[in-house]
Amino acid sequence: MNANIEQKVATWLAGNYDENTKKTIQDLQASNQNELEESFYKNLEFGTGGLRGIMGVGTNRINKYTIGMATQGFANYLNKTYPGEKMSVAIGHDSRNNSRFFAETTAQVFAANGLTVYLFEALRPTPELSFAIRSLQCKAGVVCTASHNPKEYNGYKAYWNDGGQLVPPHDKNVITEVEAIQSVDDVKWTGGEANIQLLGKDMDEAYIKMVKSLSVYPEIIEQQSDLKIVYTPIHGTGITLVPNVLSAFGFKNVHVVEEQSIPDGNFPTVAYPNPEESETMSIGLAKAKAMDADILLGTDPDADRVGVGVKNHKGEWVLMNGNQTAVLAFAYMMEARRAKGIAKPNDMVVTTIVTTEMINEVAKQNQVNCYNVLTGFKWIAELVKEKEGKENYVIGGEESFGLMIGDQIRDKDAVSAVALLCEMAAYEKSKGKTLFDKMIELYIKYGFYYENLISITKKGMNGQQEIAQMMQGYRQNPPVTINGSKVATLLDYELQTGKNLMTGESWKIDLPKSNVLQFLTEDGSKISARPSGTEPKIKFYFSVHTSLQNAAAFDITYQQLQDKIKGIIADMQLN
């Protein structure tokens, strides 16, 4: 074990840490040196979105002390930014193991630093935290969650006064303050308990009212109130609000997956509590099939991501991918608002650079401004703030199963997404169609876009270095051809430059720096490489498209697009 790790271990054993923590460290010293090294070899990084990591003792783990030090740094920044002002923050948490404890720890540290703290009385969806920040005019907020990560993880998402996650300059400034906290002795742990107020039913009712206001066709729901809906909260926070929101919309035939209805941080029925995974949605799919339901929906532990299951053109149950879900939602909000006569000439929508280009085409044909921002809803929220009073924000979303409908919240919201997706299903059912039928119609009208994603995991101390080397390799030696088609354009968001590889012409990309590379080929394929900001992974996004002549040609065209992406993956040696 190197001297740096040994010094950190010694500091924890000698310092003001509780006895259980010290005993756990001693046990690791005796029986698991590798785990001890992993736990202390670095400080868990407070990134631009906050903290996320495995729970346990040590500087590289989520625990009372890393959470407390992060909160002290955040509180210091708030006090420097708003000197002498009365400030409030809102705190929420999901169903993960220790989330309530971490939320209470966060609340106590903020309160001890003189801030009024609005702490949700129990677990709630992350989007309600964003809504509460705005409703209560808080200066900031925190939700304790690791989103869809495995059960060993937890995290700490930091928000600013607009209800969105931290963006420049606040993200970097908070990081600087957090890094300045060198010891647990720098943290104000207690003394402000009287500053903590609990949030509950009143905030729930305000949030439900807001979501209900997003409905475009309430009269269609009235006609289709018996739409057969199967919903699974996957042991998470969705159970606290989703059934109530569906009831408020007017849906009367909602069936919750009982096996996954009770909040449980061990997520006993799934390997990963992620609605992107077919295995995670399998119990819900089986129930939907047995009941001959109209739609299946699942939300992740903090209810910001939504998974959707529908019957395809052959009557088979399938899961929509995140891009398809986004296209359905964007198209509905644009087309239905226009048909209803409530569209505005300054309507705008926002998507991200790794999300399907089909959204840009839908917006173009509906004469709606469409903006493309960096990956992450904080950038969507930031653009909404920038355009306030000038353009009318309608919907934003990205391929990672997230949607943000309306501007009353500033983060992805699976609760409102579930409600609107059910409204969409009711709208199509009123015309004798399914959402899958609608998807095919959209492919015929706007072009058949197909996307896929590969994540390569690199764990441990060397993982981040391996990922950095992969990105450096692509930067220094970009591929000349991919799957037989010349690479025409290279977009480097870290260097903020685009380059035409045929002519040598280059230009500036007007977005903040981000470690993303994109290769655009002559045949219209788009390949994006992006290290994950929250997990030890590098993600590769693939997008191809062609025209779809009619519904009868769907299967053969779909197979051709799948084969094309398989060819790209093989050529890039990523399988």
Active site residues: 147
d(C-alpha 489, C-alpha 541), whole Å: 16
Single out the residue of 421, 534, 410, 423 nearest to residue 128, CA to CA.
410
> DSSP assignment of 106-167, as one string?
HHHHHHHTT-EEEEESS---HHHHHHHHHHTT-SEEEEE--TTS-TTEEEEEEEETTSSBP-
Q: Which residues pair with 122 in a beta bridge?
A: none
Q: Are 295 and 310 in contact (CB under 8 A)?
A: yes
d(C-alpha 485, C-alpha 514), whole Å: 26
DSSP state of 404: E
Strand pairing report for 196-199 and 481-482: unpaired
Question: Biggest alpha carbon distance in the chain?
Answer: 72
d(C-alpha 478, C-alpha 492), whole Å: 11
For 55-84, b/e burial (b = at least 16 CB within 10 A) is bbbbbbbbbbbbbbbbbbbbbbbbbebeee
3-class DSSP assignment, residue 507: strand
Region class of 432: left (phi > 0), else alpha (psi between -120 and 50), else beta = left
3-class DSSP assignment, residue 168: coil
Number of residues assigned to the chain = 575
Distance between alpha carbon 254 and the CA centroid of its chain, in Å? 25
Q: Are 321 and 281 in contact (CB under 8 A)?
A: no
- Residue 518, burial from CB neighbour count under 10 angstroms (0-12, 13-18, 19+): buried
DSSP state of 334: H
